[in-house]
Structure 1
Amino acid sequence: MAITLEKGQRIGIGLSKVSVGLGWDPNEGTGFDFDLDASAFMLGSNKKIPNDNYFIFYNNPKSPDGAVESTGDDTTGGNSDGGDDETLNVDLQKVDPS
């Protein structure tokens, strides 16, 4: 289902929990390893990050309000069998309104 929005338009999407996942396979062809890192940053009403604790990644795995949480760092892509190796879980109901 496609949704077309115009700048500034808002709609309710009916979701309270979402996950963003990265999945990759270990590099077996070129001999060079690579690593993907899932990260997110949360912005305040001024469109700026309130402080460093609102940048969520493997070294800061949970936002202060508990709304965004990282499942950790997979440096090889070998933790899953065809699924996501790193995931950010977001609980939209916990997002600090500011």
Structure 2
Amino acid sequence: MNRNETLKIMAVIKAAYPYYYNNQSEEDLKTVVSLWQGMFEEYEYRLVSGAVRAFIASDTKGFPPSVGMVLDKLRLLTAPPELSEMEAWNQLSRAVK
């Protein structure tokens, strides 16, 4: 994710949580953007955007997401689906035969 994409992500977060960012200085906001860009530079914008939107959609506390919270959502969105117990047994059974 590049700087412009990071700014888009931060704009979404700021729109969803406007009161949180009201009293932050320009320097504080630049620091936040730099941190998020560095933490998500290896991820695609669409994935980070989806994770942020998923967080906002499920948020019940009213606080903006931290980097770690977005990373958790990213892992959920990108993790391969887990097998059900029955699917795992079927695969094990086929492998043994």
TM-score, normalised relative to structure 2: 0.25
Q: So what's the TM-score if we normalise by structure 1? A: 0.25
More strand, by proportion:
1
| Higher share in helix | 2
